[in-house]
Structures are given as structure tokens and as C-alpha cells.
Structure 1
Amino acid sequence: MRRARFHLLLLYSLVLFIGSCSHKTGALKFKNGKEIVSTLDSLFTELETASTHPDEFPLIYINEQIRGVIEGIGSPRIVAEIQTKYIAYEHDFSFLLSADRKIALFSWQTHLEKTETRIKNIALYRSNDKMVPTSLYGIPFIYNGIHQIEMDNSDATYLLEGRDSLKNILSYHLHAYLLKNDHIEEAPLFPDFQSSITAKVRADSVKMGEPSGIVIKNKGQRIQIASVYGSSQWNSLAFDGKKYVSDQGVELNSPPHFSKGRTGIPVPSCSTIP
């Protein structure tokens, strides 16, 4: 049984290697964004079907196929066409495009949570007249927002917002990236020179609707992070043109994005907030 599993793993590894090589040689070509959205929809249908079976190798293979399609997108024109064809909540993947159309994000549920394999989220960033793919740092999760902020030095800076869950804990993430010299990199904008912050809340305290452990206001000029979930006490970060500085204990009239009567306490987190 163990030998058969090894041979199966070897076979899938070979298939993934061949597929990877074909992606790099430009074998995957699409005429427009409509073809890409249609191809991705078909692959995600296959992924959902494969997720009902215990074997992880088809899941790995299909996820790599999805990566190959996304990494083959090299044209800003096609990215813009994807935006026109993509309708939020009608697909099994998330697609986001920044306001200046220089960063596109793809994220999805890989169904690999119970395995040792991790498929990174993919970003496409504008470099000259092309869109270049890159894997984003950290654990994969579903992105739901891109926020551009204005720096004193005019560098293009973005806050990528997302969420994931583990058992009864919801984690809200915010990652800062900088697009400079036609290259994307992490930006240490948060306290203690961190490039990301995370807030965690218990899932059983949010049954009444979609909460937000992190709230972005005034086009990224202020970020509020739940201190005591459901109360008016929030940690606050203000942007000074170069970085975010702590402005602790800001009292709000009401917690943003929360319904009255909702209760619960967040799991102690936000390690980047003193």
C-alpha cells in the first residue's frame, strides 16, 4: 500500500513538472479574458468534485492547473477584460483589481487544508507593458479588498485585506505591499516594522452577520482593530505619510460593521499592536 502510494505520488510529481514546463514555455495562451474566466470556472468545478474524494493528489494537480492558467496571464488588456467578465460571488475564486490596475489578486479555497501542501495566493503586478505573476508571502487565504494609500514619496502602496478561518477562529489579515521599480515587495508600514497585522475573533460570536476585526477608513489613512469585540473600545492606527503609528484607545460612537446586540470577545492577537 505504501509503495503504491509512493508510485502514485511520483506519477503526479512528473505530471506537475511537465505541466510547469509547458506553462513556462508559453503553451497556455488565451485570446481574451472571457476564455480565462471560462477555463477557471471549469477547473474549479473539477476541484469541487475532487474535494469530495479522500485522495489529495487530484486536488494538488487541479490547483497547479489553476496556477498555470493565472500565471499565463501576461497582458494588462486581458486583466481588464477579466474584470469585466468577473462577477463577484458567482465564481469559486476571488479576483480583485486595484484602482490603478497595476495589481490583480487571485485567491481561492484549495481544499488542501488537511494536507501538507500549500498553494500560495497569486498576484499579477504591472511591470512596463506586462503583468508579472508572483506568489504572495504568508499563508494562503481569501482576499476581499485592495486599498491604495498615498505615500509622501509617491510610491504605489497597497493594503491587501483578507480573511481565513481555523476551527472556531476567524482571522482578519492586512498586508502592505509596495510597487517600486517595476517590482512588488512587502512594505513594513505597521508598528515594529511589520508588513502585516492580524485580528482574530471567535466564529461563534458572529452568527448575526459579517463582522470585520479590521476596519479601514478614509482611504487607508486610519485602521481600526477590535480591542474588545462588540464594544466601543478599539485600537487605532493613523498613517503619517510614511508609516502607521499607534493611537491607542480611540473611543468610537459605535463599533463599525457590527450589529447592535452582538457580543463576543476576540482571541488575544494583533501581535504587531503594542
Structure 2
Amino acid sequence: MKLRTLVSLVVCFASQIYLTSCNNSYKSNNTPFHGTATLAEMDTLLTKLQDLDTVDCKNLDKIVIINEKMRRIVENIRFTEEFDKLVKAYQQNEYQITFVFSEDKHIGVFSWNTKMDCLGHSIKNIALFKSNDKLHATSLYGESMIYRGIASRKKSNNKTIYILSGETILREPAINGYTIANEHLVESSIPTIEETYVDNTYN
């Protein structure tokens, strides 16, 4: 009961900090976007996160705040041109943060270990995708997994299905399918051939 109360206070505290800093976030949009700098900032925060001790839910307040900073960085990438710069920067250098994207560069996903196991959220996935000449951000829920790649296939209705492959926290292979429709990322069934391929690859 005490832990639940502590967790609630920590989450509320972190939320209050970032709500009051919204104006600064919006102001930052007036400055030029640099993909390399953005990825470097994500790496810096990820390193700080990895260095924190989580035994017995220690440092939970710091962990929540760092994760909120990382989430805001990704969600503040708001234009398709910024996404393209991000992809280019990621291709040119090596980074600690996991960022995968489709070959057509219409969708990308950031994945990282949050170290928020005490809150039941061990991995965070945020997708950035293009629709109607706009860039959108959305969190991906479901089974916790780190995405390692994105393939694409045309469906019978000529829509593209994006097949996100990765591994769970138990290092088991997993895949999820999504389509982009009306500025939303929609879960979609995966062709049997893709499921068979993943099974054969990891077994």
C-alpha cells in the first residue's frame, strides 16, 4: 500500500514538472531541428537511466523524470522533414538508443528499457509515422518488447502493412503488424508467411 502511494506521488510530481515546462517545449520548436543532436540527447538520457540502481524500487523519482524527458523529445518531433533528418542521422552514426524505421521511411519506432518495472512498464515504444503529409506520434502498447526491424508488405486492398519484429523481455521473438489509415496507426493481421519466417529464424 505504501509503495502504491509512493508511486502515485512520484508520477504526479513528474507530470507537474513537465506540464509547467510546456511553454519551453513549444519555444524549442522555433529553433532548427538537428537529428544528430536529438539522438545524442536521447543517448545521454539513456546512459543516465542505465546507471541508476533499481533494487527495491530505488531512484524511482529520477527514473520517471528521465523517461518523461525521453518521451517528450520523441513526441516533439512534429514534422516529416524532421523525421527524415532523424533517419539520416541514425544511418550515419551508431547510437545506444534503438530506433528502427521502414524502408519507405513512413514509420519509425523508438524502443528503450525504462527500468520502471515497479510501475509495470519495463519497455517504452513510441512510433512516429507519416500520414496526410503530417508526422504523428503514438505509444505502442501490448507485450513489452524491443523492436529490431520493420518490414513492409502490400495487402490485397493495396494498403501497406508494416511488420514490426523484435524480442520480448524474455528474449523471445515477436512480431506485430500495423497499417496507417486516416492519421492513425492501426493494428493489422500479419501474413502467415511472415509468422512462419520468424518461427524458422529463431527456432
TM range (shorter): 0.7 to 0.9
Equivalent runs, 1:47-126 vs 2, <5 Å: 47-51=49-53, 54-86=58-90, 90-113=94-117, 115-118=118-121, 120-126=124-130
Contact 1:160 1:175 in 2 (8 A): yes
Cα offset, 1:9, TM superposition: 5.5
**SS in structure 2 at match of 1:163:** strand
Determine the structure 1 residue equivalent to 2:34.
32
More helix by share: 2
Alpha-carbon spacing, 1:56–1:102, altered in 2? closer, same or farther (3 Å): same
Cα offset, 1:32, TM superposition: 2.1
**SS in structure 2 at match of 1:149:** strand
How far apart, in 2, do the equivalents of 1:79 and 1:51 lie? 33
Contact 1:105 1:123 in 2 (8 A): yes
Determine the structure 2 residue equivalent to 1:146.
150
Cα offset, 1:45, TM superposition: 2.1
Contact 1:93 1:106 in 2 (8 A): yes
Contact 1:93 1:109 in 2 (8 A): no
How far apart, in 2, do the equivalents of 1:179 and 1:77 lie? 18
How far apart, in 2, do the equivalents of 1:188 and 1:22 lie? 40
Determine the structure 2 residue equivalent to 1:187.
188
**SS in structure 1 at match of 2:169:** strand
Determine the structure 1 residue equivalent to 2:172.
171
Alpha-carbon spacing, 1:23–1:141, altered in 2? closer, same or farther (3 Å): farther
Identity within the alignment, %: 28
**Which whole-Å deviations, capped at 9, do the CAs of 1:68-124 have from their partners, x for residues lacking one?**
1001001111112112222599322111121121111100121223x1241541001
Comparing 75-84 with 141-150, greater Cα deviation is found at 75-84
1:43 maps to 2:16: no
1:13 maps to 2:12: yes
Alpha-carbon spacing, 1:41–1:58, altered in 2? closer, same or farther (3 Å): same
How far apart, in 2, do the equivalents of 1:151 and 1:79 lie? 25
Query: Unaligned regions of 5+ residues in structure 1, if any?
Result: 192-215, 227-233, 235-255, 258-265, 267-274
When normalised by structure 2's length, the TM-score is: 0.80
**Which whole-Å deviations, capped at 9, do the CAs of 1:182-241 have from their partners, x for residues lacking one?**
3210013467xxxxxxxxxxxxxxxxxxxxxxxx7xxx5x73354xxxxxxx6xxxxxxx
Cα offset, 1:21, TM superposition: 6.1
How far apart, in 2, do the equivalents of 1:96 and 1:225 lie? 17
Comparing 172-181 with 90-99, greater Cα deviation is found at 90-99
**Which whole-Å deviations, capped at 9, do the CAs of 1:225-259 have from their partners, x for residues lacking one?**
54xxxxxxx6xxxxxxxxxxxxxxxxxxxxx57xx
**SS in structure 2 at match of 1:224:** helix
Alpha-carbon spacing, 1:7–1:173, altered in 2? closer, same or farther (3 Å): closer
Q: What is the number of equivalent residue pairs in this alignment?
A: 196
How far apart, in 1, do the equivalents of 2:19 and 2:49 lie? 18
Contact 1:20 1:68 in 2 (8 A): no
Give the aligned CA root-mean-square deviation in angstroms: 3.1
